[in-house]
Amino acid sequence: MKISTIIPSYNEETFIEECLKKSLEAHKDLGHEFEIIAVDDGCTDRTPEITERLSREKDEIKHLSFENRLGKGKAIETGFKEAEGDYLIFYDTDLSTDLEYLEKLLENLDNGFDAVIGSRLHEETDLDSRFHRAMVRKSYSCFLNLLFDTDIGDLQCGFKGFRKEAYINVVDDMKAEHMFWDTEIIIRMCHQGHKVKEIPVEWTKKPESKTRTRDVFPKFPVEALKLKKELRGQDCTKIKK
């Protein structure tokens, strides 16, 4: 069983070296065959230079670099397209989710789940985040659950894994290219009857992180309504917690 991990990056020179080195260490400790595909999404800082150097030093690291922005979703899809693994994983470069949860993610994929998603809103989650961020996430989840008749804790956590065959079943229908991709991929899997599992994760907001709640979440309801219109009338298999 081979694991392919995709790490999409946009101007992450602060985090990328630590992320790739810790990723190598974590996968080696787990003892499986693996590859790490780092995708530079139109970076204008030193991220491509650092990633290229590490890819030359370590055979397990592959480097894909693009001059123009693809968007987070398209960057992930581009990485997955090059992936050789049976399981496809991605997580954020700043490692807000501790890599100790890789073992639990892979264990659930081994147990037959088609997708495994980290949850910052699970009752067992150890969360280091501001109150308003948690409230925005909970409100967003409630909105989605009502809209799609799902039972979802946290769709936007940047820590997810898929069985390759399940991912292939939905990727051609994907529309989102940026941050909403996280939500859309799971909603589509749910609607196609794939088994999805949420796992609690420890999550820490990094001060240097470039993702801002106020810049991202206001756009999501419009995207969600477009997706609902497309999926109208289709049954949904509730997500398993």
Please name each of the domains of the chain with its CATH number: 2-231 (3.90.550.10)
CA distance 73 to 211: 14
Q: Which residues contact 208 (CB under 8 A, 6 or more apart)?
A: 14, 15, 94
Q: Residue 204's pLDDT is what?
A: 82
226 sits in the region (left: phi over 0; alpha: psi -120 to 50; else beta) called alpha
Model confidence at 98, in pLDDT bands (50, 70, 90)?
very high
Q: At which residue do the structure tokens 């899809």 appear?
A: 77
Q: Is 172 left (phi over 0), alpha (psi -120 to 50) or beta?
A: alpha
Whole-prediction pTM: 0.88
Residues 181-237 have pLDDT tens digits of: 999 999 999 999 999 999 999 878 766 655 555 556 678 889 999 999 999 866 555
Phi-psi domain of 43 (left: phi exceeds 0; alpha: psi -120 through 50; beta: other): beta
Residue pair 60/34 in contact by the 8 Å Cβ criterion: yes
Residues with catalytic roles: 182
Q: Are 136 and 215 in contact (CB under 8 A)?
A: no
CA distances (Å), origin 106, targets 92, 103, 115, 184, 235 = 17, 5, 10, 22, 28
Tens-place pLDDT, residues 141-155: 889 889 998 887 888
The span from the CA of 12 to the CA of 109, in Å, is 29
Please classify residue 56 by burial: count the beta carbons closer than 10 Å to its beta carbon, then call 0-12 exposed, 13-18 middle and 19+ buried. exposed
Collect all residues with Cβ–Cβ distance below 8 Å to 187 and sequence separation of at least 6: 144, 148, 150, 155, 227, 231
Taking alpha carbons only, the member of 94, 101, 82, 73 closest to residue 16 is 94
